Structure 1
């Protein structure tokens, strides 16, 4: 017979072990809070990564894109549709690229319950495999609907689908660039790691609420994270984001608030041979607001080779990938409507410390590829097991001319210079005080040329058509000297900067700083 004291000790030990491995999200009697997700992330980081890729039946992964697109969620099955709430949810079916089942919890009256997968909620179209779908398959992701354009119709305003990707639109927008929860080891020789949102908790909104709260648990071999999104659709769709990250391994390159977009070609190349459209891009530039008060604009490009720019910043006040050009005639695309793509602005809450905004431009020959990535890389990351907490706001919006900075670079064009090998750069500045300044205003330009080239000449003139000012300068490459042969793919890019000012005093700066990475 087992002694009573020993039996109680064994039972206590068993319950303690069960409490340690049973995820907090699974304890139905515990009120749901953000702390539940944070503790879940902390617990995951303390253990080995569980690879759930290809956890979906093989036959679903072998279907083609048209077959996956033929699986459609039935709108009449939308969550909360019959309750008359301002928000509705529809869901995506796993398969093809989406090789993991995602758990979705609905939080009602403070308590979370998993939303069961139901094959009957989907129309499988011409596909014949409905009877083979497991009842516990899980979802690939979900989309949020809200009457953003018309009071009588719930438009799709945000979607969470694939890895840690999500997108949103403001009123009148079409989907364009994406955001992600976290980027890990992007553009490193070791290869990029793609964290994924493995669980979601969605708070059931009240009938009068114009916002919805979404919580997410992120997992990857190198890091875990807890995320809280407060989403407010409107003329500008705003997401207040709180993140708490934990490293599984020391030394991973973490990209915070990553943005992913597409730039095929723009005005700098004067179109593309064989294509009737003058420009094709979801975003046309990276903008950064520094804590010093300086604003920087870096036009995007589709480079001939991988181009990585690290723009140092202490406590940045904002950065984003913008679609400044919103004129239809600059695209002429009646299907893609690139002029309706949103800009996405990241606004840190509090001080983020030392680090840099990293811009990665990847060469592509297809407009379907997202070849632009931007994110914040913190210099100082806590050790394994310690949290890194960062808050920020995501603004899915359209650029406004009445917001800072004043004078802006609205167009960048490149041409061959007058000397062999030289490049001519033409920048149009508009906005702020520029329109009110006459040709005799004494406007000056500051052009800085980095290592590898020298300034040949520059001039500035009033654009009487637009009211702005045009800066034209030429740069010529220096002899490579000792660098010759070091770069197997050619000479390194040359950093260029330029801005306009009134007079010779720097306080009289009139424009943002234009920045460019030039390849000869």
Structure 2
């Protein structure tokens, strides 16, 4: 996964939110002022056939408005390209849709279509849809090709001025899309597909090159979006049912056709940022205690095990694979919700958790976690995705369905005690010489059966490691008078600099009390 300037990208999304606009209601023809092409037949079956045929043809790059001009549409310039509210699609409907302009981070044209029954009409681009002043760099762009780059879905006008209320779903740049969590924030992103992120060399980022929209019948119904994906290695057809809930829930179907053999086909990928947390932080690297959009990968395996894997900012690109069959779910989560742990006005403590819920049997494969070193918060350096065991070559295809939840927490809690902190320190005992190659771990668990342990019952820490030896292993209640808050403490002695994979959970007799903590310790970065 290539380093991606995600903070600037997010700033553009948020800043442009002060200037978004909508227009039109009911059918596409009622969208005041919008221009449309001729009606053409449309169905999802047609789109899937079209994607299959497209994959059999040589790849063609999407049109781009003049690259030298678009490259100058940076954060500030893009924020001044205001989509005029009177031109929004379905403006008076349940969920209006506004379009977004090309810019530095999203330079390619995307075609937009409005569906009416069994036909669709293309929304024809016109520069007058945007507030392009005479002195703005974008004024030098012509009407062809289109300068549409993506779209936003908004709450109804009854919720407030569309210039001031944040959109609840955004599709902008390559195959990236986001949803607002129930705490009112965006954060991490999803993608239509990921192709071998973290591999040597530049990563390929296929694009959603066309969208088709069906309006929601009412506030309880979904907005339906169809998308055509195309890239040098793949083509695909997607259907999104976008539900506005306390956060956002998306029902997603995909029919993917490789154009050539793909080393790692990443399905249902999530992309996030993790710089540092209470687990590990270089001295005086930043004034804030923690900086991350997500702090862990949560998994619910096909066998029913609940796993929590805290994220790392590793010394080198690290790819971890978790073998599974019929996974029940996985996601990148922001568990730490304490403002005092961030102290940042961008509200990291309110970033959403994104949870992938497979629909149907996904078969065998791996949940793959890619962690890339970063020295700043501007880069998306984390990716989690499903990689099926089946080969991925020209002439083959993958059908996939899943539900994507954008919430504050995982949608299906296990009831077990949850890992709430991972802390590292020097090994050994206070007042004694600190031994070499020994690291102390403090893993905190909270809730579930831990809150109901009889007085005097001490849970047992069950530990394993890929190498090294444990010592000074014990558990204790965290001395903060919070019921069910326990920690496991242990030292790990290792030699060499290769990573160590560890597992830990708490039990009482034969009863499992907590989810399983997995952690990859990098001795080289802890010196």
Shorter-chain TM-score: which interval? 0.7 to 0.9
Instruction: State the secondary structure of the residue aligned to 1:273.
Output: coil
Whole-angstrom distance in 1 between the partners of 2:107 and 2:412: 45
Q: Structure 1 residues 271 and 441 mapped into 2: Cα distance closer, same or farther (>3 Å)?
A: farther
Q: Structure 1 residues 275 and 130 mapped into 2: Cα distance closer, same or farther (>3 Å)?
A: closer
Aligned to 1:404: 414
Q: TM-score when scaled to structure 1?
A: 0.87
Shift in Å, 1:203: 0.8
Of 150, 155, 160 in structure 1, the residue corresponding to residue 171 of structure 2 is 160
The 5 Å alignment of 1:76-95 reads 76-81=86-91, 84-95=92-103
Whole-angstrom distance in 1 between the partners of 2:389 and 2:66: 38
Shift in Å, 1:401: 9.8
Q: Does 1:475 align with 2:484?
A: no
Give unmatched runs, 5+ long, in structure 2. 1-36, 429-434
1:251-285 per-position Cα deviation (integer Å, ceiling 9, x unaligned): 43200011000111111126851533211111010
CA contact (8 A) 2:77 2:136 kept: no
Whole-angstrom distance in 1 between the partners of 2:350 and 2:282: 20
Aligned to 2:520: 517
Q: Does 1:369 align with 2:379?
A: yes
Whole-angstrom distance in 1 between the partners of 2:298 and 2:137: 48
Aligned to 2:253: 242
Of 418, 422, 441 in structure 2, the residue corresponding to residue 425 of structure 1 is 441
Aligned to 1:450: 466
* Number of residue-to-residue matches in the alignment: 476
Shift in Å, 1:391: 0.3
Whole-angstrom distance in 2 between the partners of 1:402 and 1:134: 50
Q: Structure 1 residues 401 and 272 mapped into 2: Cα distance closer, same or farther (>3 Å)?
A: farther
Q: Structure 1 residues 289 and 193 mapped into 2: Cα distance closer, same or farther (>3 Å)?
A: same
Aligned to 2:129: 121
Q: Does 1:225 align with 2:236?
A: yes
The 5 Å alignment of 1:27-42 reads 28-30=39-41, 32-42=42-52
CA contact (8 A) 1:401 1:431 kept: no
1:447-494 per-position Cα deviation (integer Å, ceiling 9, x unaligned): 11113x22133110122422211101110113x5xxxxxxxxxx3211
Q: TM-score when scaled to structure 2?
A: 0.86
Instruction: State the secondary structure of the residue aligned to 2:336.
Output: coil
* Residue range with higher mean Cα deviation, 401-410 or 422-431: 401-410
CA contact (8 A) 1:313 1:355 kept: yes
Whole-angstrom distance in 2 between the partners of 1:294 and 1:58: 52
Aligned to 1:72: 82
Q: Structure 1 residues 463 and 130 mapped into 2: Cα distance closer, same or farther (>3 Å)?
A: closer
Shift in Å, 1:398: 0.8
Whole-angstrom distance in 1 between the partners of 2:219 and 2:315: 52
Aligned to 2:474: 459
CA contact (8 A) 1:108 1:204 kept: no
Q: Does 1:380 align with 2:395?
A: no
Whole-angstrom distance in 2 between the partners of 1:477 and 1:53: 54
Instruction: State the secondary structure of the residue aligned to 2:294.
Output: coil
The 5 Å alignment of 1:140-179 reads 140-147=149-156, 150=159, 155-179=166-190
